[in-house]
Amino acid sequence: MSYFTEILAETSDGFRALDVDVRDASDLDSLVEMMQAAGSEDGESVAVIEHEDEWFGLVRVCTDNEIRVFLSDLRAVELSPFADIFADFLDSQPDAYEAEPEEEFGLEEEPAGDDEDEDEEVEMLEFDADAEWGGDAEIYADRGVLAADLIEQVEKYRSDPARVVAHVGETVGFADQLQAAR
């Protein structure tokens, strides 16, 4: 599976692709510096990173230099060559499941013969940690992509991250330039 990366900067004429390679960034700060140096001073910029059929990441540098990041699948990002860029988001990842003491679940009181049924139930109820998104789901809420809509798109099209990025791009205004860069 391949990666697609692109940085787009907003100008008075809309977004344009920048001649900057995301893979040259060693961390989020260096990526943001690259985006700011190559972009226009009066507009925003966005870095798009996609791993085919797995995950995507958006890094937005707003006009006031606020940095916003959204990652569709933290576990997949952690295993990718881009993990260093998003290390701050991966390190602060909440635990997918925080176990309570056994006595609160009443596990000590259940008969020993129900172990097989219990294992089946636990498997069905396990949280899919590979599907946990992270960062700021309101990354483009001010431009029409509500957090609930973004999360719904991520969950609905988990195996098609390009579709979700295209949805964001259509709403924000960079879809044509992103498609041309592909």
* Winning range, highest mean pLDDT, from 41-45, 88-92, 102-106: 41-45
Q: Provide the token pair at 6.
A: 């692109």
Q: How confident is the model at residue 171 (pLDDT cuts 50, 70, 90)?
A: very high
DSSP of 101-151: PHHHHTGGGS-GGGHHHHHHHHHHH---GGG--EE-TTTTGGGT--HHHHH
- Looking at residue 106, what is its pLDDT? 42
Instruction: Indicate the pTM of the whole model.
Output: 0.76
Q: Give me the amino acid identity at 108.
A: E
pLDDT exceeds cutoff 50 at 34: yes
Calculate the alpha carbon distances from 115 to 111, 112, 152, 169 in Å.
8, 6, 36, 49
